[in-house]
Amino acid sequence: LNGSGWRRMAGSTFTVKAGDKLYLSSNPNGMKSYVWNGPNGFTKNGNRNGDILLANEIQASMSGEYEVTLTYSNGCVKKKSFTLNVLTPPSDFFAHWKLDDDAKDAIGDAHGQIKGGAQLVNDPIRGKVLSISKNGDHVHVPAKPQMQVGVGGKDFSVAFWMKLTQDHTGKWRTVMHKGSGVWDRTFAMWMRPHDNRIHFRVGTTHNRNEGGNSNQELKLDTWTHVAYVHKGKKLRLYING
């Protein structure tokens, strides 16, 4: 199984995202011919090694079990199978950065770039995570059409997990900021200088700097879920809720 540049042996369950390009591969030593069978009447056979293009863009309907029957030159016949799960993200997602292997957008093309000394590290609770420890460490995501959130007063939300490992420093520390300059706040969040509350802001046609502060402080060395929600004429920040 070969999809989006990765390859696996048959015999397991694989999860891919809708829109991926997917190849089936069957090329063990001594193989004479193969027959692939899958969902919705899919079948493909051949008598040489090589990859079969299953789809340029995988669809959810292609989920299911795939089986290959291999016939070898010595007459031996073997069968192998795998199960394919195709994930289709909610239609209202504009981007999803898992930050497990890189800063790529898992559902689109709003790919980020890891900058400064930021790096992916292993966390005992959440697995691979992005570690940011000093000024200049960040992920930069270039402008994309789907990133024009809130245009015309439309609702949107931004949610993420974070673990604060350093107490307040007396300085503003950026959590997340979308905009070309510090006063372009089409969403923005900072850690406050003198406590561990989040300062959350948004720029509007009425005021370039509207928002508030979280009611509670983030606990040190604890994973916290943060949700920044713009709905109607209100902007709210949810901490673990």
List pLDDT tens digits, range 4-20: 333 444 557 777 767 66
More confident residue, 137 or 206: 137
CB atoms within 10 A of CB 54: 21
List pLDDT tens digits, range 179-223: 888 888 889 999 999 999 999 998 887 878 889 999 999 999 999
pTM value > 0.85: no
Contacts 24+ apart (CB under 8 A), 59-67: 59/18, 59/86, 60/18, 60/86, 60/88, 62/22, 62/38, 62/86, 63/39, 64/38, 64/39, 64/40, 65/38, 65/39, 66/10, 66/24, 66/36, 66/37, 66/38, 66/39, 66/42, 67/36, 67/37, 67/38
List pLDDT tens digits, range 92-133: 788 889 888 899 988 888 999 999 999 999 998 888 899 998
Beta-ladder partners of 115:
138
CB 172 within 8 A of CB 197: no
Beta-ladder partners of 44:
36
Contacts of 95 (CB under 8 A, 6+ apart): 105, 107, 108, 110, 141, 144, 146, 147
